[in-house]
Structure formats: structure tokens, C-alpha cells
Amino acid sequence: MERASASPREGRVRWPGLLLAAALVTCWSSPASAQITAEAVPPLVAEGESVLLVAHKLPETLQVIYWYRDRVTPEKEIGHLILSSNQTVDGAASTGRETLLTNGSLLLRNASQGDAGPYLINVILADFSTKQASVSFQVLPPLPTPTVTSNNSSPTEGEGPVVLTCEPETPNTTYLWRRNGEILSDGDRLQLSDNGTLTLLTVLRADMGSYECETRNPVSTRRSHPLFLNITYGPDAPLISPSDTHFPPGANLSLSCHAASNPPAQYSWLVNGTLQAHSQELLLPNITTEASGTYACLAHNAVTGLNRTAVRNVTVLEPVTWPSVEVANTTVKEMDSVLLTCLFSGSEVSIRWLFNGQSLRLTDRTTLSGNNSTLAIEPVWREDAGDYQCEASNPVSTRRSNPVRLAVIIDPTRGSSGLSGGAIAGIVVGAAAGVALVGALAYFLYFRKTGGGSDQRDPTEHKPSASRHNLGPSDSSPKKADDVTYSALDFSAQRLKEPTSASPSPSATEIIYSEVKKK
């Protein structure tokens, strides 16, 4: 038994922190009648570590403090402390690893599983009465580093069950499993047991990775080295790249094949059924139209024994020729029809028409036929005048013709498409009114000329005087000129607008003169 003032022996486990805890939790001011207690700090001790047995509620009239192992007998005494002289005395059960502190606590260093309680404290008071308390603790061994084993470390996808075991199995231990660093939990295909086994009922390729188990008890934690679970699968359906299926003559044909597989697949190429190469990539330089055909990629997994095939149809096409636009007449009258034809040569060609450099917008007057190679416009309107082009494309080329300019002769009988319906109607009504006015005037003049007006003179008629209207030679002249007679008609004129201040106010009646020559 060491005294509380003595220095700790060399090689002993550190315990100053436990001494400080004992000083903080021990109370010497408790009433003498209170029951003393004791506790272990910590209650669960790792093997080889220290534990402090702390006494609480010790009376002020203490004389001697005794500590025993198991029971209060001389042979089980660890030691005692005489407070009057601050002297500690080792007992028969002392192992040399115990220290009795001046506050009544007992420090045990380098604990082993055999040191587990109970421990008893017995105090003698000034009146020679005694008080007693007991305390126990548990010593747990440090966990060993676990190891992961498997009944099948390289299964094939779809197989199962695969069982992973965390060894060795230790009591009072919990187990935690990780895959690629992520904690696993129970699921439809995963089963975790309390004894450290992980069961994969049916393995998938997603289960491939590094597995670790972690063991825990109240005093230690240990993690295993990873076990890599290798899952074989595939090959899946191969993919051929690039996705192009058409190539021009003279190009370098480069195809690559890839299939998901573990281990990696082995590849072969067949062209039109003939083995071409044993490689993942196929390169054919400077191809001709004879390279057209069926290209098949075969992927093989030597472990699973599975084969998968992908097929690509390759066509080598000549570029389309430069197209041209043919039209019978580039100048047409409005309301006539016109037919434009795109001339080209090539295979798998599509045609697009352009008007003034933009894609032609079809209307109810435009019709495409002959795989869009013929454009018909019927009837032609003035807004159809402009430049027309056709664009010929196939999967390997695009060509655009030179523009052909279509001129449209405007039909004067067709109103401008820019006039509104009301404006056109106004023009028509105005023209009809003008025709009616001219007809009325002509009828009146004819009536006067035939004498129909000799008995019914118009009161507004003016008799011309010889001095004013006889401007030609006199009646006695040898070559008498034709007399000119003026007649006047009154028309009620509707005032269209208010007169300006600078213009004289027009009368309600305008006089229109007509000159009629006598025969």
C-alpha cells in the first residue's frame, strides 16, 4: 500500500485525474448520522486502466478508514488510514497497485478482470462506532482488431446468399458494418445479426466494394481491415459509338464498342458476317461505297460465359450534286401560275425551298410535290416576286442552288393587298357615283340638242350676246364659223368641309358649262 503523499511508481498507469475527481466529489461536511456511500469512477474499466473508488458522506469524527476486498476480514484487508497521524498501513490483500488517499478514496491502477468488485469501506468513529458501504466495478478486456471473412468473396450477380463474418466474437460487443465507408442497415436483401454476421441474400453489382466491420464495447472501439467483395456480371448489351450511320467516300471509319462487364469484356468485330478484328475499336481508313453493310460487335465475358451483340448498319453515300432551279418563265403576270423545279442528283436527298434567303412559308397558293422537288404557285400575287432557291441535303452533304429571280407583272384590276376592305369599297362606290353623274350630264345635253327643250326652257339658261359669244367671223363672212351654244346645268353640291378664312364661301349651287358645237 502506498501513502497518498508518495510518488507513483515507474510504469504505472496515469491517475492524477482520478485523484482530482476524488477531491471534487468527496464531502467531509456531511452530518455524522448520514449513511456513507461509495462509487467507482468509471464503473466500467478497460483492462490495464485505473479506477478510483470514491467515498461520500464521510463523518467529521472519523478515526480510521479501512478498505476490504469481497468481505470484512483481516485476510481481505487492502489497507487502512489512521487520520490522527495521516498514516496508511497495507493489509493482507494489498497487491501493491492500490493507493489509499487522504480523503478516504482508494485508487486501483492497471486493473485486470480479476480485480472486479465488490469492495467495502469501513470507518471507525470517535465513539468507536462503525459505518460501512460497498462498491463494485466491471473490468472489460480491450477489443482485438476484428477480421472480416466471407463464404464467397467473388460471387456472380444474382447469386446468394453471401455471408460476411466479423471475427472474433466477443461478449458485450456491438457490431457496425460499412460498405465503401457508408454504414449499412437492415433491408430487403441485407440482414445484420447481433453476433457479427452480414448476409446478402441476393448480390447485385451495386454490392461490390470494400466491407469493414467495427466492434464496440463500453471501453473500446476497433475497426477491421477492409475486405473487397468482387461481383462478376455482364456483359450488358454493347453500345457502338459514334451514332453516325452515314459516311462520305474517303472518310476514315472509326467505330468503338463498349459493354458494362466485370471482368472487362473481350470484343470482336464482324462486317457483313465476316470476322474483321479482335479489338474494342475498329478503324477502316479511306472507305469507299463498298464499305456499306452490317457491322456487328460481339462482347464476351470469360468468367460469366455470357455473350452480347450490337449491330450497326453503315451506309457510304456520295455527296449530293449542286442543285439548280428550273422555271419556264421568270416573268409572269399576276393571277397566273408558275412552276419551279429543283434539279439534282444523289441518294437519300431531301429538298428545302428558300424565298429571299429564308425558308419558304407555305400558303394555300403554294404546293410541293415530287418529294418537295417541285414548287407550284397558283395564282401568283405581286408579293411572290423575289429570289427562289432550293437546298438539297443527304446525310453526308448539303448544297444550295443559285437564286432565280421571279418578276411579277402587276394586274391593274387587282387591288393592292395593302388596301383595307373599307377603302376598296369606298373606291368602288365613288367610281359608280362618277359614272352615274357623267351619264346624267350626257342625257341632258342630248335632250337639248334634239330640241326637246324649245318649249321648256330652263329658267337658269343664259342667252349669249353677239358681243360675248360670237367670237368667230360675222354672219356676212364668206366662211361662217359654227355657232357655239353654251348651256348651263345646276347641281346641288354637298358641302364637304368648312371653307377656310382665305377662301370665299362657295354657293349652294355650282354651274357646269358644256360646249356643244352646232352641225
DSSP code per residue over 453-491: TSSS--TT--PPPHHHH--S--TTSSSPPPPEEEEEEEE
* φ and ψ of 466, to 5 deg: -65, -35
Residues 217, 259, single domain; the answer is no
Grid cell 408558275 in the structure block, residue: 338
Do residues 110 and 35 share a domain?
A: yes
233: confidence class by pLDDT, cuts 50, 70, 90: very high
- Give the angle subtended at the CA of 352 by the CAs of 350 and 355, to the nearest 5°: 170
Residue 101 lies in a domain: yes
Q: What are the phi and psi torsion angles at 256 (to 5°)?
A: -125, 145
Q: How many domains does the chain have?
A: 5
Whether 509 is in a domain gets the answer yes
Cell of 294: 452490317
Taking only the tens place, the pLDDT of each residue in 249-266 is 999 999 999 999 999 999
Cβ partners under 8 Å of residue 18, min gap 6: 41, 50, 51, 52, 107
* Residue 151 CA, distance from chain mean position: 42
Domain shared by 294 and 358, yes or no: no
Q: What is the pLDDT of residue 218?
A: 87
> What does the pLDDT average to over 193-199?
91
What lies within 8 Å, CB to CB, of 23 at 6+ separation is: 103
CB distance 484 to 514 below 8 Å: no
Q: Which residues contact 26 (CB under 8 A, 6 or more apart)?
A: 54, 55, 56, 58, 103, 104, 105
pLDDT at residue 446, rounded to an integer:
60
Q: Is the pLDDT of residue 16 over 50?
A: no
Inter-residue contact 81 to 134 (CB < 8 Å): no
32: CB partners within 8 A, 6+ apart: 59, 60, 61, 125
Residue keyed to cell 453516325: 244
Judgement on whether residues 181 and 204 belong to the same structural domain of the protein: yes
What pLDDT is attached to residue 112?
A: 92
The reply to whether 32 and 134 lie within a common domain is: yes
Domain end residue (candidates: 375, 409, 443): 409
Whether residues 26 and 80 share a domain: the answer is yes
Q: How far apart are CA 343 and CA 360, in angstroms?
A: 18
CATH number at residue 246: 2.60.40.10
pLDDT digits (tens, 9 = 90+) for 98-153: 999 988 999 999 999 899 879 999 999 999 999 999 999 999 888 999 999 999 99
Q: Which of 410, 399, 386, 319 is nearest to 352 (CA)?
A: 399
Q: Is the domain of 257 the same as that of 337? A: no
Do the domain assignments include residue 283? Answer: yes
In a domain, 328, yes or no: yes
Q: CA nearest 247: which of 197, 182, 177, 312?
A: 312
- Is residue 179 within 8 Å of residue 162, measured between CB atoms? no
Looking at the chain, the whole-number percentage of residues with pLDDT higher than 90 is 64
Residue 246 belongs to a domain: yes
Specify if 303 maps to a domain: yes
208 alpha carbon, distance to own chain's centre: 28
Q: Same structural domain for residues 24 and 94? A: yes
Domain that holds residue 478: 457-517
Among candidate residues 101, 122, 140, the one where a domain is terminated: 140
- Least reliable range by pLDDT among 106-120, 213-227, 384-398, 406-420: 406-420
> What is the share, in percent, of the chain residues with pLDDT greater than 70?
74
Q: How do residues 467-478 score in pLDDT, each as one tens digit?
A: 333 333 334 333
Q: Do 31 and 114 reside in the same domain of the chain?
A: yes
Q: Are residues 33 and 136 in the same domain?
A: yes
- Choose one of 229, 264, 283: the last residue of a domain: 229
Q: Residue 102's pLDDT is what?
A: 87
The answer to the question of residue 336 being in a domain is yes
Instruction: Give residue for cell 444474382.
Output: 158
Same domain flag for 296 and 334: no
| Residue 182 belongs to a domain | yes
Residues 246 and 302 in one domain: yes
- The residue-averaged pLDDT of 25-53 equals 76
The pLDDT, as a whole number, for residue 448 is: 57
